[in-house]
């Protein structure tokens, strides 16, 4: 499968613990090779193979936040 980078906007993060929670949940998705979360901008970049938006959005929700495809 092709390696890709997907970008999302996460709402509701206010601290480094929020960033860690989102990073941990998204990192568990099969095919994800790296996760970058920027607290200041609310941006989430996910790299890997076969990444599905619904899986990322669900993982972010499981961490307690809402996200949209950027």
**pTM reported for the whole predicted model:** 0.94
Q: Express each pLDDT in 14-42 by its tens digit.
A: 999 999 999 999 999 999 999 999 999 99
For residue 58, with 0-12 CB atoms within 10 Å meaning exposed, 13-18 middle and 19 or more buried, which class applies?
A: middle
Q: Express each pLDDT in 46-64 by its tens digit.
A: 999 999 999 999 999 999 9
CATH code for position 35: 3.30.70.100
Query: What is the band of 1 on the pLDDT scale with cuts at 50, 70, 90?
Result: low
- What is the number of domains present in the chain? 1
Instruction: Decide if pLDDT at 2 tops 70.
Output: no
Structural domain of 63: 3-69
Count other Cβ atoms within 10 Å, centred on residue 30.
10
Confidence at residue 5, expressed as pLDDT on a 0 to 100 scale: 94
């Amino acid at each position: 499968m092709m390696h890709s980078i997907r970008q999302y906007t996460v709402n509701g993060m206010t601290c480094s613990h929020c960033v860690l929670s989102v990073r941990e949940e998204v990192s568990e998705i099969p095919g994800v090779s790296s996760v970058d979360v920027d607290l200041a901008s609310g941006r989430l970049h996910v790299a890997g193979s076969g990444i599905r938006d619904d899986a990322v959005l669900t993982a972010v929700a499981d961490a307690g936040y809402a996200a949209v495809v950027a």
